[in-house]
């Protein structure tokens, strides 16, 4: 039986086209990057997102009932592993990490077939934030 709060993530399940834009690290200015994401259930307890976007990455979404909180575990082909606190309410999806190397956050608006979000980073423990890039998910199929 699926957890009621995890069931809220079911709208993410499917195939998505990704567009990375407005990134400080892409040249020339205005350049875009493209990729794909597959999001699926892993049993009844987790949702797994596998992305190909200038490299492969995997995110596993789960939940702690005792803490009434979502958690996301991130890993990419560079060997980077991160843990994010997550919220998912109404049409708003956030991921936040506050690690010693830097802070990072994802802020997105979620629709049935379109997710528009941005990644931001802070090098001063969240005092100031800079946008890394915008990321748009367009549903290919459910």
CA distance 132 to 32: 13
pLDDT of amino acid 141: 76
pLDDT of residue 142 exceeding 90, the answer is no
DSSP 43: T
pLDDT of amino acid 17: 98
Contact 65, 3 (CB under 8 A): yes
Average pLDDT, the chain: 95
The CA-atom distances, in angstroms, between 99 and each of 5, 80, 102, 123 are 26, 13, 6, 10
Q: What is the pLDDT of residues 115-133, one digit of tens each?
A: 999 999 999 999 999 999 9
Token pair 């789960």 in the structure block, residue: 62
- Give me the count of residues in the chain: 142
pLDDT of residue 58 exceeding 90, the answer is yes
Contact 138, 19 (CB under 8 A): yes
pTM above 0.95, yes or no: no
């Amino acid at each position: 039986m699926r957890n009621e709060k995890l069931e809220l993530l079911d709208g993410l399940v499917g195939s998505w086209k990704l567009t990375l834009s407005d990134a400080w690290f892409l040249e020339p200015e205005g350049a875009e990057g493209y990729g794909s994401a597959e999001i699926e259930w892993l049993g009844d307890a987790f949702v797994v997102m596998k992305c190909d976007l200038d490299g492969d990455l995997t995110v596993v979404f789960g939940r702690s009932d005792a803490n009434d909180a979502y958690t996301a575990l991130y890993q990419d082909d560079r060997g980077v592993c991160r843990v994010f606190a997550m919220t998912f309410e109404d049409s708003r999806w956030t991921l936040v990490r506050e690690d010693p190397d830097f802070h990072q956050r994802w802020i997105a608006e979620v629709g049935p077939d379109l997710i528009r979000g941005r990644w931001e980073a802070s090098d001063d423990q969240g005092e100031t934030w800079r946008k890394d890039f915008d990321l748009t998910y367009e549903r290919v199929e459910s």
